């Protein structure tokens, strides 16, 4: 983008208001008339544009069962294949954004249909867009390696909708009229090459429009997209998308464009400068003989600009000019010292020249940007473009300039996906995917392993095929090189003495552009995710009790995860019969996750804001990436069987107690059973000392009050109804269950039974996907069915809740025919596959079930301590867990390992004094 001042009238505003239509889902049970009406409605609402291709929705139908979470939409009358690919072809880099459909689909079962019918959950028109229910990928290639980029597109058939598209599977692919969106100068320069190699035409989008559209989408969609960078420290800034506009977008490419953004599709280029990245690279090449942009930046890290720049102290004999607030180290004149010295160019160090040049241009851009922000009364300035590319010192210099000139009143902010703004904007210009309507809770960012993510400075194209990933890592390791962090950080070094109080940057080596790709993951688009409606204040909610800003804390938890790795790999390999293939994948998983940890140890904020919950989720995602679906499945089955065998005796014992004693025994049982956790090293050691039942009984015997946090008496007052306490029973309780085996069978099921006995509807909330030995929503109905064989109350409640399907009784389709005498026992999935839970992103099932709930019970370390210990709710909450980590016990509760936590928080209660966050 040219950096010269714009000739366009600054009051002219570019408007791009796109309308998006919805296709109503049609099920096999719908009448043909209903289908026709739905399709007609969709066609009437679809925005028509003669300049852009439109979807032909006639005859649209869902492939497979309409109850699936992310069903494939077939468009039989669509003449052209839908391209889910957009390109930004710059002078140095090609940026791709492409979409792939989800491979996994939720199984269709009667439990889901029962839950949907009970809670009135509709599939919703939002999910019917073909683009939804998939992944958005971000990939970079060097422009000079255009052929590698084209090979990548061809191998995945991205220009034809991808190898997972209906037309690819049906063999009806046609090379006629394939058009893909593109922006950047290369969209014009290489149009003929793409036509010749791929047979596609490029629909060229305006570069500025794409930049703004991409920035708007990312700031809206990614929770930790924006960050500040001062003195080497990255700090994420949460942007309220309802309060996003107006802001200033400064795009630093070869030149600089300064854009005032007033809304979606509303912006104007208000200023710019021709002194930008091209200036730095051009002058740097002439003055230092460097052969690459990155080499020039690397030089600056070892430079001392006081050897070249004239500083205030040089003029005032080492003194500050305090009257106007200038320190002795402030640059008075860039390169000014060279005019008073009798030296040749060869007498100056290239390192010093590079640093002086970098600071001159960065400070100039920062100052011009701030002056424009001041002109329009803006305090938010976002910087992006090829000049930055994730380089820490560049961001520091710009931040210092803005801070200096604004006297701290304005902030320079940067974007994690800043290199992809144009490509995202080009992707957004397809008028068929409905991305504009996505919200932050419907996007989950994942970080898969691939060649660019592993192994020193060795980088390559993204690796999508599993065997390719494993082979790549094996070959890399065979060379005798350990897989470590992509670019090891060197010890802190000097960065020069001059400038605006001399900004510093950790280390003396900059990340190359290739390694900056580490900061960008894959966006999973899951339109069925919602914000948990019972959060007291979603805007201030922070799931992580432990943040890992403290480096010693970070090191400790990394060590814990690494120590647990061998046992986890053993279990994962054993879960698939210990085959050679499983061993290869297990070894690859261990190396991949170790590489992730090494990267995060180098830069904790590389993947966004980091908490312990994020680390545990990353581990589970990495397991799934190497196709370990359920590493603990054998162990879970064995422990479920052992626990179910002793459940009848436990229920008989509980039924023999009076009401008060029984309630205490039930809470003791939950706490004692929570000792079973394969994610805890201390608990793994326990398994070698006895059977599951022996350990459970031992744990029960040690239940002595008062517990470390003991609110049982307050909970008892609310639960027990006597002559002095006429409170009504809870209407509906959500029980967030934790581990399989004794934890759920001997702990949470008896507690659920007690609530049912008191007339409370009970919803068991479990993981959507496996994580360690946590029980999943798919496993719970079978467990409940087995438990119901020994308890008439459980049987009736499970039948009413639609859980006893095929196992014992047939579910009735009409809920009105079910017995009203026993409240239902139901199961819903929570929408995640981690030992922890972020309540900003839960399943639509859970969100619907929560709307009438007045009691939440969070059980287990992951859900009640690692996350949500300090979460506030609109209803009563009971948090139950046994602490199975000594450091955590000391830090959070000033206690010891195996301490018990029973925290009861009535609705509306102010934050407790013992609420903590470390």
Dihedral pair phi/psi, residue 411, rounded to 5°: -120, 135
Does the pLDDT of residue 856 top 90, yes or no? yes
**Are residues 117 and 82 part of one domain?**
yes
pLDDT score for 61: 45
Residues 344-380: pLDDT tens digits?
999 999 999 999 999 999 999 999 999 999 999 998 9
> Residue 606 is part of a domain; what is its CATH number?
1.20.1700.10
**Are residues 668 and 609 part of one domain?**
no
pLDDT score for 326: 76
Does the pLDDT of residue 677 top 90, yes or no? no
By DSSP bridging, strand 732-736 and strand 876-882 are unpaired
- Strand segments (E) across 326-379: 331-333
**Are residues 177 and 104 part of one domain?**
yes
**Are residues 640 and 619 part of one domain?**
no
Residues 68-83: pLDDT tens digits?
333 344 434 433 334 5
**CA–CA gap between residue 735 and residue 653 (Å, rounded):** 23
Q: For the residues 706-729, what does the mean pLDDT come to?
A: 84
Handedness of CA 685, 690, 694, 698 (dihedral sign): negative
CA end-to-end span of the chain: 45
Q: For the residues 289-317, what does the mean pLDDT come to?
A: 88
Q: For the residues 256-277, what does the mean pLDDT come to?
A: 94
**Are residues 242 and 327 part of one domain?**
yes
Burial of 814 (0-12, 13-18, 19+ CB in 10 A): exposed
- Residue 895's SS3 state is coil
Does the pLDDT of residue 871 top 50, yes or no? yes
Q: How confident is residue 912, by pLDDT bands cut at 50, 70 and 90?
A: low
Does the pLDDT of residue 865 top 80, yes or no? yes
Where is pLDDT greater, at 42 or 410? 410
pLDDT score for 163: 53
pLDDT score for 50: 30
Domain count within the chain: 4
Range with lowest mean pLDDT among 354-363, 515-524, 755-764, 872-881: 515-524
Residues 22-36: pLDDT tens digits?
222 333 334 444 444
Share of the chain above pLDDT 90, in %: 45
Q: Is residue 6 part of a domain?
A: no
**CA–CA gap between residue 303 and residue 323 (Å, rounded):** 30
Query: Among the three residues 486, 518, 550, which one is the final residue of a domain in this structure?
Result: 518
Does the pLDDT of residue 542 top 50, yes or no? yes
Residues 609-630: pLDDT tens digits?
888 898 999 999 999 989 999 9
The C-alpha torsion from 242 through 246 and 251 to 255, rounded to 10°, is 170
pLDDT score for 378: 92
Where is pLDDT greater, at 482 or 198? 198
Place of tokens 């199975």: 884
Does the pLDDT of residue 447 top 50, yes or no? yes
Q: Is residue 450 part of a domain?
A: no
- Residue span of the structural domain in which 109 resides: 57-210
Q: Is residue 186 part of a domain?
A: yes
**Are residues 704 and 589 part of one domain?**
no
**Are residues 496 and 548 part of one domain?**
no
Q: Is residue 608 part of a domain?
A: yes
Q: For the residues 590-608, what does the mean pLDDT come to?
A: 84
pLDDT score for 472: 66
Q: Is residue 161 part of a domain?
A: yes
Alpha-carbon distance values, 192 to 86, 534, 569, 803 (Å): 17, 55, 50, 60
Considering 166-170, 415-419, 495-499, the range whose residues carry the highest mean pLDDT is 415-419
Dihedral pair phi/psi, residue 172, rounded to 5°: -105, 30
**Are residues 727 and 802 part of one domain?**
yes
Query: Among the three residues 625, 644, 675, which one is the final residue of a domain in this structure?
Result: 625
**Are residues 259 and 195 part of one domain?**
no
Q: Give CB contacts under 8 A, 24+ apart, made by 321-327.
A: 327/501
**Are residues 391 and 248 part of one domain?**
yes
Q: For the residues 580-604, what does the mean pLDDT come to?
A: 88
Identify the CA nearest to 95 among candidates 184, 179, 160, 162.
Answer: 184
**Are residues 615 and 641 part of one domain?**
no
Does the pLDDT of residue 178 top 90, yes or no? no
**CA–CA gap between residue 409 and residue 11 (Å, rounded):** 26
DSSP designation for 8: S
pLDDT score for 605: 83
DSSP designation for 337: G
pTM: 0.81
Residues 142-175: pLDDT tens digits?
788 899 889 888 888 888 776 555 554 455 555 5
Query: Among the three residues 561, 590, 625, which one is the final residue of a domain in this structure?
Result: 625
DSSP code per residue over 226-253: EEEEETTEEEEE---GGG--SEEEEEES
Place of tokens 């995945």: 156
pLDDT score for 913: 52
**CA–CA gap between residue 868 and residue 725 (Å, rounded):** 30
Alpha-carbon distance values, 634 to 587, 744, 807, 827 (Å): 20, 16, 21, 22
pLDDT score for 319: 80
**Are residues 393 and 502 part of one domain?**
yes
Q: Is residue 860 part of a domain?
A: yes
User: Could you tell me the two tokens for 550?
Assistant: 């403290």
Does the pLDDT of residue 753 top 50, yes or no? yes
Place of tokens 């047979």: 199
pLDDT score for 35: 45
Q: Is residue 473 part of a domain?
A: no
pLDDT score for 749: 98
> Residue 279 is part of a domain; what is its CATH number?
3.30.420.40
Contacts (Cβ under 8 Å, ≥6 apart) of 7 = none
Mean pLDDT of the chain: 78
Q: Is residue 133 part of a domain?
A: yes
> Residue 878 is part of a domain; what is its CATH number?
3.40.50.10880
Alpha-carbon distance values, 835 to 16, 60, 142, 614 (Å): 43, 39, 39, 10
**CA–CA gap between residue 218 and residue 418 (Å, rounded):** 9
Is residue 854 within 8 Å of 719, Cβ to Cβ?
no
């Amino acid at each position: 983008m040219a950096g010269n001042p714009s000739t366009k009238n600054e009051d002219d505003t570019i408007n791009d208001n796109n309308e998006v239509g919805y296709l109503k889902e049609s099920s096999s049970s719908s009448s043909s008339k209903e289908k026709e009406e739905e399709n007609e409605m969709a066609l009437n609402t679809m925005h028509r544009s003669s300049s852009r291709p439109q979807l032909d929705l006639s005859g649209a139908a869902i492939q497979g069962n309409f109850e699936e979470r992310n069903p494939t939409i077939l468009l039989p009358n669509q003449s052209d294949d839908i391209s889910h690919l957009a390109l930004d072809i710059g002078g140095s880099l090609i940026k791709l954004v492409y979409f792939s459909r989800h491979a996994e689909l939720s199984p269709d079962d009667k439990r889901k249909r029962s839950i949907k019918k009970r809670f009135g959950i509709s599939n919703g028109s939002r999910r019917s867009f073909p683009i939804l229910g998939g992944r958005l990928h971000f990939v970079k290639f060097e422009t000079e390696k255009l052929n590698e980029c084209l090979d990548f597109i061809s191998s995945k058939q991205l220009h034809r909708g991808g190898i997972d598209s209906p037309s690819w599977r049906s063999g009806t692919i046609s090379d006629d009229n394939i058009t893909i969106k593109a922006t950047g100068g290369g969209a014009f320069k290489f149009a003929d090459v793409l036509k010749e190699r791929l047979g596609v035409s490029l629909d060229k989008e305006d570069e500025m429009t794409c930049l703004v559209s991409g920035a708007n989408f990312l700031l809206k969609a990614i929770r930790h997209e924006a960050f500040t960078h001062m003195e080497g420290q990255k700090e994420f800034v949460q942007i309220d998308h309802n309060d996003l506009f107006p802001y200033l977008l400064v795009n630093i490419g070869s030149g600089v464009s300064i854009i005032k953004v007033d809304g979606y599709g509303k912006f104007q280029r208000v200023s710019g400068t021709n002194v930008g990245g091209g200036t730095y690279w051009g002058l740097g090449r002439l003055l230092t003989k460097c052969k690459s942009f990155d080499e020039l930046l690397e030089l600056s890290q070892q430079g001392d600009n006081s050897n070249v720049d004239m500083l205030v102290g040089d003029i005032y004999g080492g003194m500050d000019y305090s009257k106007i607030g200038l320190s002795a180290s402030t640059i008075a004149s860039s390169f000014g010292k060279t005019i008073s010295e009798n030296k040749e160019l060869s007498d100056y160090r290239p390192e010093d020249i590079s640093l002086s040049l970098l600071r001159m241009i960065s400070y100039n851009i920062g100052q011009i940007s701030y002056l424009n922000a001041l002109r329009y009364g803006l305090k938010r300035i976002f910087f992006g473009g090829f000049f930055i590319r994730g380089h820490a010192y560049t961001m520091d210099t710009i931040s210092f300039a803005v801070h200096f000139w604004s006297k701290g009143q304005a902030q320079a902010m940067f974007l994690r996906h800043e290199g992809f703004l144009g490509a995202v904007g080009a992707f957004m210009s397809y008028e068929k995917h409905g991305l504009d309507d996505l919200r932050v809770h419907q996007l989950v960012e994942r970080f898969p392993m691939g060649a660019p993510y592993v192994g020193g400075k060795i980088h390559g194209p993204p690796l999508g095929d599993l065997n390719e990933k494993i082979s790549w890592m094996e070959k890399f390791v065979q060379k005798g090189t350990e897989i470590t962090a992509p670019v090891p950080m060197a010890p802190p070094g000097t960065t020069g003495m001059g400038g605006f109080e001399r900004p510093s940057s950790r280390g003396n080596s900059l990340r190359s552009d290739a390694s900056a790709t580490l900061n960008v993951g894959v966006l999973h688009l899951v339109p069925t995710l919602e914000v948990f409606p019972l959060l007291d204040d979603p805007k201030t909610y922070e799931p992580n009790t432990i943040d890992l800003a403290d480096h010693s804390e970070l090191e400790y938890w990394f060590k814990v995860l690494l120590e647990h790795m061998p046992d986890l790999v053993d279990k994962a390999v054993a879960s698939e019969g210990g085959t050679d293939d499983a061993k290869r994948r297990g070894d690859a998983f261990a190396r991949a996750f170790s590489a992730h940890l090494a990267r995060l140890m180098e830069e904790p904020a590389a993947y966004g804001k980091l908490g312990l919950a994020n680390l545990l989720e990353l581990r589970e995602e990495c397991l799934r990436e190497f196709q370990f679906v359920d590493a603990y499945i054998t162990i879970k089955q064995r422990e479920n069987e052992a626990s179910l065998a002793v459940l009848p005796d436990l229920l008989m014992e509980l039924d023999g107690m009076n009401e008060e004693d029984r309630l205490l025994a039930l809470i003791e049982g939950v706490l004692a059973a929570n000792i079973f956790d394969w994610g805890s090293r201390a608990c793994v050691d326990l398994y070698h000392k006895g059977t599951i039942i022996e350990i459970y009984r031992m744990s029960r015997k040690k239940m002595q009050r008062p517990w470390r946090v003991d609110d049982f008496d307050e909970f008892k007052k609310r639960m027990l109804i006597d002559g002095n306490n006429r409170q009504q029973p809870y209407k509906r309780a959500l029980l967030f269950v934790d581990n399989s085996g004794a934890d759920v069978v001997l702990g949470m099921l008896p507690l659920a039974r007690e609530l049912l006995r008191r007339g409370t509807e009970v919803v068991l909330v479990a993981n959507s996907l496996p994580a360690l030995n946590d029980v999943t929503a798919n496993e719970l109905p079978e467990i409940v069915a087995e438990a119901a064989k020994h308890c008439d109350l459980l049987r009736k409640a499970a039948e009413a809740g639609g859980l006893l399907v095929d196992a014992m009784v047939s579910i009735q389709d009409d809920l009105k025919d079910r017995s009203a005498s026993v409240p239902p026992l139901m199961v819903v999935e929570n929408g995640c596959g981690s030992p922890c839970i972020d309540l900003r992103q839960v399943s639509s099932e859970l969100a619907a079930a929560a709307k009438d709930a007045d009691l939440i019970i969070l059980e287990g370390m992951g859900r009640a301590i690692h996350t949500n210990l300090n979460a506030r709710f609109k209803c009563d909450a009971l948090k139950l867990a046994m602490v199975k980590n000594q450091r955590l016990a000391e830090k959070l509760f000033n206690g010891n390992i195996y301490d018990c936590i029973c925290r009861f928080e009535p609705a509306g209660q102010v934050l407790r004094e013992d609420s903590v966050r470390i």
